């Protein structure tokens, strides 16, 4: 499995192809949401909604073979695309890898100027929740 930084380099290369074309970049982000696994309907509930996102983003996590497996969905296509990028980088990794991950691809692709400050706050909230899940699993593993 590629390491976190390798995956980030792939993402940065993909976005470099789009250049400064903001419209195409947003379309691309919206299409990325199609990569998400089908979200289990019973988990589409209030307690699984990430706090701090303007849109509704449902995120759950479980542990398989000591690694964190995320599933997510959203009611907006752009947010689906954003969470799918994060899952692509962080999915199926050990909790300590996730907690130590430096998600530099976000700034390198200029995500802030693409999605604006409100959605950037939402993106930060997604990362925080994903890391909180990792922390919880790490704590459980160390118990």
Partner 1 sequence: MIAFKSALDFIKQYGKPAIKAHEDALLVYANESMKDIKGFIPVGTANEKVSVLSFNINNMHPFDVGQMLDAKGIAVRTGHHCTQPLMKRFGIEGTVRASFAVYNTKSEIEKLAEGVAQIARFKNK
Q: Which residues bind partner 1 (CB under 8 A)?
A: 22-23, 25-27, 30, 54-55, 75-79, 115-116, 119
Q: At its nearest, how many Å lie between partner 1 and the CB of residue 76?
A: 4
Toward partner 1, which CB reaches closer, 35 or 54?
54
- Residue 128's nearest CA partner among 19, 25, 51 is 51
Toward partner 1, which CB reaches closer, 76 or 124?
76
Q: At its nearest, how many Å lie between partner 1 and the CB of residue 79?
A: 8
**Phi/psi of residue 67, each to 5°?**
-120, 150
Q: At its nearest, how many Å lie between partner 1 and the CB of residue 103?
A: 21
Q: At its nearest, how many Å lie between partner 1 and the CB of residue 51?
A: 17
Toward partner 1, which CB reaches closer, 57 or 59?
57
Toward partner 1, which CB reaches closer, 79 or 84?
79
3-class secondary-structure state, position 129? helix
- Residue 89's nearest CA partner among 134, 119, 138 is 134
**Degrees (nearest 5) of the Cα angle 97, 2, 82?**
70
- Kindly report the number of other CB atoms within 10 A of residue 32's CB atom: 20
**Phi/psi of residue 61, each to 5°?**
-145, 145
Per the structure block, which two tokens stand in for 50? 């990430």
Toward partner 1, which CB reaches closer, 2 or 75?
75
Q: At its nearest, how many Å lie between partner 1 and the CB of residue 81?
A: 10
- As a whole number of angstroms, the distance between CA 89 and CA 139 comes to 22
């Amino acid at each position: 499995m590629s390491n976190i930084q390798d995956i980030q380099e792939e993402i940065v290369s993909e976005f470099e192809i789009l250049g400064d074309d903001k419209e195409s970049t947003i379309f691309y982000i919206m299409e990325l949401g199609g990569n998400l696994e089908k979200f289990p309907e019973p988990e589409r509930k209030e307690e699984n909604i990430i706090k701090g996102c303007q849109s509704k983003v449902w995120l759950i996590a479980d542990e398989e073979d000591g690694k964190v497996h995320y599933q997510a969905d959203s009611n907006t296509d752009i947010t689906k695309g954003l969470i799918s990028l994060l899952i692509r980088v962080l999915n199926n990794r050990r909790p300590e890898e996730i907690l130590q991950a430096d998600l530099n691809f976000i700034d390198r692709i200029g995500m802030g100027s693409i999605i604006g400050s409100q959605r950037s706050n939402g993106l930060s909230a997604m990362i925080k929740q994903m890391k909180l899940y990792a922390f919880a699993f790490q704590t459980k593993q160390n118990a």
